Chain A
């Protein structure tokens, strides 16, 4: 992951997020990008594709209540 960000790339990310920033805010945000990049590097461990998924869920009693049948198509 690069530790700095080009103006065009930052503009793309901000547009995608729907954030309308001033030039001063963009300039300030660029200065902390290396901090975010360093954090992202720290959580990117060599764990492989079969490592536990981040988001799993279990069906609990509340998901299997009597109303489930009524709502089912």
Chain B
């Protein structure tokens, strides 16, 4: 088992130069899965045989004619709400314990066509909601930086798996922060693209008008490589945008001198005070970006709680509608946490929902105006470092406002990247937000930040981490 875990970009270069075998890389990932996943619970279903077969095919094709692209031969994981033909897709629920889809989700199809190697299905909160839950068929994922601690969710297994080097990249989904939360707490990168950029077809819904699919990986550059494969119009998804797909890596490495970055200080200093560690990470990140030549400006928006109320009311209602039949007939088959979420649907009136959707229009217009003349804005991603698994509030919807939900409400692209380490040596993160379909500029800033800092050089020390038996 290798101790050196390459990024996707590094592995792609080595594979293209025929200095790294996709089969060896896949075996190394599987070795790490076998050594570590009994404690991390990043996977709910391994596809070991398929992975080795795909890796052999990739290797043969690459030896014969070179890689079809940078994702060829790269080991990945798919969140277990992504349909995979012939492979169990349980959505982390007793209700779908025996579900084996007969078709791939579009994102799974695109990644397979790019030549990726599927290591398995990764742990999710039940139907991408609630969590951590201990009353489901599988245990929740644990944070590789300290396995007593939460990964955030709902793309918890993808986050843990990437941080621990079990996979190089994976798919997450994000309705209120389910890509960016695990990215932040697990110390990796995760991008929620513009609403409609990546097809949701074949992925279990959480809330139709807030759901996004996106890549998670160790670096922003790796997210760009994955997004290149995933972006594009799909007639199977009614929200899919028919929009040209640019080269997401073209601007990487070209610096950010003169780019204009807004900072929403009041979100994390007034509306809800983040932990000292997160605050230090944000302050240091602003200094780093300024040092790279970016112009920093102040941005004022409606209070974080307004965005949260809007997103929560929409999310609660759309989720209750999506799972209405099972809520009425099989409520007790959901985890207690998801039962609580579904119960909330009864408390939101039709007028409340419509007012929330009207409010969304106003908030989107506000963000558009605030971002005029700016390339990206920067804000917190999470309120603090990963909490202990036993300390996650049962009613977390009401415990603290979400720093990620505003950009689900707006549909704007947002990426979370590691900004250092806080209390207990746990990762802290920043969130960068771009204008719709301007992921290239967003990724350029995130990549420049990562390369100007040394946070990508530190992996969780799993040998020393507190690993429960």
A interface list, Cβ under 8 A from B = 5, 13-14, 16-21, 25, 28-29, 32-33, 35-36, 38-40, 42-45, 47, 51-55, 62
Contact of B344 among A5, A20, A36, A42 (CB under 8 A): A36
Number of interface residues of B (CB under 8 A): 37
Q: Are A42 and B347 in contact (CB under 8 A)?
A: no
CB-CB < 8 A to B312: which residues of A?
39
* Shortest beta-carbon distance from A47 to chain B in Å: 7
B interface majority secondary structure: helix
**Is B354 an interface position by the 8 A CB rule?**
yes
Q: Does B232 make an interface contact (CB < 8 A)?
A: no
Residues of B within 8 A of A36 (CB): 313, 316, 344, 347-348
Q: Which residues of B contact A (CB under 8 A)?
A: 235, 305-306, 308-310, 312-313, 316, 320, 324, 327-328, 331, 339-340, 342-349, 352, 354-362, 395, 397-398
| 12 chain-A/chain-B pairs, Cβ below 8 angstroms | A13-B346, A17-B327, A17-B345, A18-B328, A19-B328, A20-B331, A25-B339, A29-B347, A43-B306, A51-B358, A54-B355, A54-B358
User: Which residue of the partner chain A has the closest CB to B339?
Assistant: A25
Q: Which 3 A-B pairs have the closest CB atoms?
A: A54-B357, A39-B309, A18-B328
Partner of A62, one of B235, B358, B362: B235
B348 touches which of A19, A21, A40 (Cβ 8 Å): A40
Q: How far apart are B41's CB and chain A's nearest CB, in angstroms?
A: 28
Q: Chain A residues near B360: list those with CB within 8 A.
A: 54
Separation of A16 and B313 alpha carbons in the complex (Å): 18
Contact (A32, B309) CB under 8 Å given A40-B355, A62-B235: no
Contact of B345 with A42 in the complex, beta carbons under 8 Å: no
**In the bound complex, CA of A43 to CA of B354 (Å):** 9
Q: Is the CB of B313 within 8 A of A43?
A: yes
Residue of A nearest to B363 (CB): A43
Asked if B355 contacts A13 (CB within 8 A), the reply is no
Task: Give the residue among B235, B310, B347 with the most A Cβ atoms within 10 A.
Answer: B347
Q: A19-B343, A43-B310, A43-B352 are in contact. Are A35 and B358 (CB under 8 A)?
A: no
Let me know if B344 and A32 touch, CB within 8 A.
yes
- Determine if B395 and A32 form an interchain contact, defined as CB atoms under 8 angstroms apart: yes
Report the nearest A residue to B356, measured CB to CB.
A43
Interchain CB contact under 8 A, B346 and A19? yes
Given contacts A38-B309, A45-B362, list 19 more A-B pairs with CB under 8 A.
A14-B343, A17-B320, A17-B327, A19-B342, A33-B347, A35-B395, A36-B344, A36-B348, A39-B309, A40-B348, A40-B349, A42-B309, A43-B310, A43-B352, A43-B358, A52-B358, A54-B354, A55-B354, A62-B235
